[in-house]
Chain A
Amino acid sequence: MSAELGHFALILAMLIAAVQATLPLIGAQRNMPTWIAIANPTAYVQFFLTTLAFGCLIHVYLISDFSVVNVVQNSHTDKPILYKIAGSWGNHEGSLLLWVFILALYGAAVAAFGRNLPPAFKARVLSVQAMIALGFYTFMLLTSNPFERVFPAPLNGQDLNPLLQDPGLAIHPPMLYLGYVGFSIAFSFAIAALIEGRVDAAWARWVRPWTLAAWIFLTGGITLGSWWAYYELGWGGWWFWDPVENASFMPWLAGTALLHSAVVVEKRDTLKGWTVLLAIIAFSMSLLGTFLVRSGVLTSVHAFATDPSRGVFILALLVTVIGGSLALFAWRGPQLKSTGLFQPISREGALLLNNLIMTTALAAVLLGTLYPLFIDVIGGAKISVGAPFFNAVFLPLMVPMIVAMAIGPFMNWKRGDILPALGRLRFTFLFALVAGAAAWSVETDGPFMGVIGIALAAWLGAGVIAEISERIHLFRAPLPESMRRLGRIPRSTWGMSFAHFGLALAIAGMAGAGGWKVESIQTMKPGETVNVGGYEYTFEGAQEGQGPNYTILFGKFTVRKDGEVFTVLEAEKRNYPVTRMPTTEAAIHTTLMGDLYAVIGDAEGDEGAYVTRIYYNPLVVWMWIGCIVMMFGGTLSMTDRRHRVGVPHKRQHSSASSDPVSSTS
């Protein structure tokens, strides 16, 4: 029953999307208020219908309805309830339903919260949203219906890939998709602006909170995925430059660039064409991410759907959406007139530098990810480009960017002066030198990039603090005066500072874990001890246990430091009988200085000996903290006063020009 209800809801949602994609847009073009007014209700109804469809899918999973193909392929009666729910989006069809559900959620959010948008503009935005949705509904209903029945129904299901049965990964896809799909709003705003032929400060201010929301979720999604890889794959690594990881990283790079260039549009009325292009690119990268993962055009360890007929459809969708929007950009873009002029050495110049580096990095990641495809098409062998390529290209690009990141905020708009800015950063520079030297002295022939990374992290972190001190005239003005200034710093500025500071923390973590990781692999009998990174690990033996739908092997380690018991680590190896796949659950003890990380492998011989892998991963926790601080910065910036002014109660039809312009710089 639920399956049919869900199926009908999807068909209805598609029809509603067809109405929403056309009538409001025609209404906006011909200035017909009644047609414009269709935009809001259709967005709400579409959201209601996809919610219903999504709810139905979760329901068939919860009741383990094995007459639905999707449930058979991805579920099992013994599976814990959380993974029954998560299983509904842990597969191709379900993840697409999640995708359109989130798309409709954003559409309804624009309808509900975009009350300060001019009605015609909003109608165009919602129409563009519905066009994207229409493409996805058609795709699902024609090639990937999650509600397809099977007859006769099997007695039980084939279970979900055990690697995906993990709390981190259960919430990873919704988080990531909230990011991916969030860029659809920036995209729709860009298309609507191109149709109107106008991009101004108000446009930049409207688009900002939505882009920020997408960016925050995407940052969270990438972090969760990385964290999952860190503790679940059991290799002690957190980033593998896998095509699927790249697929989520590319929209992040484009979105980050977009956030920075939109500031220039808002404050200085320039870089308009560029900003619109970035909005298109950010969403295109999200679509490309979906394409890369789903079509099988590239293979990767965790691509879970490869079916060329779907690939053809996705390609058609990509060409229509991306090709169409870029064609519109080529046609209408030249009409966007920029007025603000600036010198290369200025705040605009610094933001543009950020943009250039971000897009170059994006191009490099894109090239590396697609390289196997290019080679394949021109007749070479199928190959894929590994981490060495990405590290060789990506890391050198990041160095000048981090250096510039500390300097940029000291620059004035229009025309800055580099020497005074550098003068104010002299203590920051000293601090970075000291931090680099300290990192170097830990291990004198230590890793070069590790030392550079620590120095850059110190430079950026201290640079952020120096910038705030400068802003509040710390030590130059009396303390109460400085405190007053501190209180007057707008949230968007705090947002920038926190985001930059978070990145500094994350870089420190990456440099530490990348540079000074200690690992030791050995066969251990019970009672044997190894020393890893200054800690003594005694293997206490392994014993078996039983989880809800798996068997467990526990390996226990007592860790001592200087003879005292420091902690007890219990590493797990799980075996899922239905899929006959093992997973590892690393035992991790986190300290500020580094993670103690132990994994138990296979039994060797019959004296209770096991292969064990023990790692010391320095500073890893800083990476997670840094990412959370970055998300917090994004949230602060999103709640800035200028995004809220003129919004709800008093005026119903406020126009762009009447918004008070806040003064933040």
Chain B
Amino acid sequence: MNKRLFFIAPLLVFLVLAGYFAIGLTKDPRKLQNMLTGQPVPEFTLVGLQGRDDTGFKSADLIGDVTLVNVFGSWCVACRVEHPFLMTLKQKNLVPIHAIDWREEDKSAGPLWLKKHGDPYTLAGDDPKSKAAISFGVTGAPETFLVDKKGIVRFKHIGPINQQLWQTTLMPLIALLRKESSS
């Protein structure tokens, strides 16, 4: 190892970091929640849940319609809190909701949970090893992504969604996005 380099490297690394900080400061931190900048959903392919008809859930499924992607887990308490509201959305047929069933230790845990509490999902994929969750940048369950017809994430919400969020944010946004063309 070049000895000189050992003494200079820390400074160089720090200067690069500081550059990132400087640019980072000019960005609005609240975009973490709002993510309206419009990035396409990351590529993912997940196998379906046991006992459901669907063959799986992949990024291509998100093209063509305005959808919600909901990250949940049978182990997640807040998901249990959120669940009745998702069921309401399903009963009123307001928007297709797809699921990423995250970090189940047992393949049957997610399906059992849905059998017990009701299944609001159109498509559902099993993600025990966080393959999709990491690329989505999931910080915890539940998390919900609003995806437009082109498969671009337009809104992200951390934590349970509820009536209030639906009325103030999700519903107007969905109505707006439905007017956009899908090409």
Contacts and interface: CB of A to CB of B under 8 A. Distances in A.
Interface of A: 235, 240, 273, 277, 280-281, 284, 291, 295-299, 306, 308, 311-312, 315, 318-319, 322-323, 326-327, 329-330, 333-334, 370, 372-374, 376-377, 380-389, 447, 519, 521, 601-602, 611, 613
B18 A374 contact: no
B29 A334 contact: no
B47 interface: no
B132 to A, nearest CB: 11
Given A284-B14, A333-B7, 14 more contacts: A240-B140, A273-B6, A280-B10, A297-B21, A297-B29, A299-B33, A377-B27, A382-B27, A385-B137, A386-B133, A388-B103, A519-B77, A521-B80, A602-B81
Contacts of A386: 133-134, 137-140
A91 B20 CA distance: 27
Contacts of B115: none
Interface in B15-73: 15, 17-18, 20-27, 29-33, 35, 37, 39
B73 to A, nearest CB: 12
Given A376-B24, A388-B130, A382 B11 contact: no
Contact of A315 (B18, B29, B136): B18
B9 to A, nearest CB: 9
Given A323-B11, A373-B24, A299 B139 contact: no
Contact of A306 (B29, B133, B134): B29
B3 interface: yes
B85 interface: no
Interface centre among B18, B24, B30, B103 (most CB of A within 10 A): B24
Nearest to A374: B20
A362 B146 CA distance: 35
A280 B32 CA distance: 31
Contact of A383 (B11, B17, B137): B137
Contacts of A374: 20
B11 A297 contact: no
Contact of B29 (A296, A323, A383, A519): A296
24 contacts: A280-B10, A281-B10, A295-B25, A299-B30, A299-B32, A306-B29, A315-B25, A322-B14, A326-B10, A329-B10, A330-B8, A334-B3, A370-B17, A372-B32, A381-B39, A382-B29, A382-B35, A386-B133, A386-B134, A386-B137, A386-B139, A388-B134, A602-B81, A613-B77
Contacts of B77: 235, 519, 521, 613
A281 to B, nearest CB: 8
Give the interface SS of chain B, mostly helix, strand, loop or mixed.
helix
Contacts of B22: 315
Given A297-B29, A377-B23, A319 B11 contact: no
B100 interface: no
Contacts of B30: 299
Contact of B32 (A384, A389, A601, A602): A384
A222 B6 CA distance: 31
B4 interface: yes
Contacts of B140: 240, 386-387
Nearest to B153: A381
Nearest to A380: B39
Given A382-B31, A386-B133, A323 B18 contact: yes
B121 interface: no
Contacts of B81: 601-602, 611
Nearest to B25: A311
Contacts of A389: 134
A295 B26 CA distance: 11
Contacts of A381: 31, 35, 37, 39, 137, 153
Tell me which of B15, B130, B139, B153 has the highest count of chain A C-beta atoms within 10 A of its own C-beta: B139
Contacts, number: 112
A363 to B, nearest CB: 10
A299 B29 CA distance: 6
Chain A interface mostly: helix
A519 B25 contact: no
A507 to B, nearest CB: 21
Contacts of B105: 447
A620 B98 CA distance: 36
A291 B21 CA distance: 10
B11 A330 contact: yes
A380 B40 CA distance: 10
Contacts of B80: 521, 611
A329 B139 contact: no
Contacts of A380: 39
CB-CB nearest 5 A-B residue pairs: A383-B137, A388-B130, A326-B11, A381-B39, A333-B7
Contact of B11 (A296, A315, A327, A521): A327
Contacts of B130: 388
A273 B138 contact: no
Nearest to B8: A330
A378 to B, nearest CB: 9
Given A277-B10, A386-B134, A377 B32 contact: no
A374 B4 CA distance: 28
Contacts of A311: 25
A380 B20 CA distance: 13
Interface string B134-171: 10111110000000000001000000000000000000
A315 B3 CA distance: 30
A138 B40 CA distance: 44
A312 B23 CA distance: 10
Contacts of A370: 17, 20
A319 B134 contact: no
A373 to B, nearest CB: 5
A388 B137 contact: no
A373 B21 contact: yes
A11 B33 CA distance: 39
B99 to A, nearest CB: 17
A306 B7 CA distance: 35
Contacts of B7: 273, 329-330, 333-334
A388 to B, nearest CB: 4
Nearest to B40: A381
A296 B28 CA distance: 8
Contacts of A329: 7, 10-11
Contacts of B10: 277, 280-281, 326, 329-330
Contacts of B35: 381-382
A214 B80 CA distance: 42
A383 B10 CA distance: 27
B112 to A, nearest CB: 13
B57 to A, nearest CB: 18
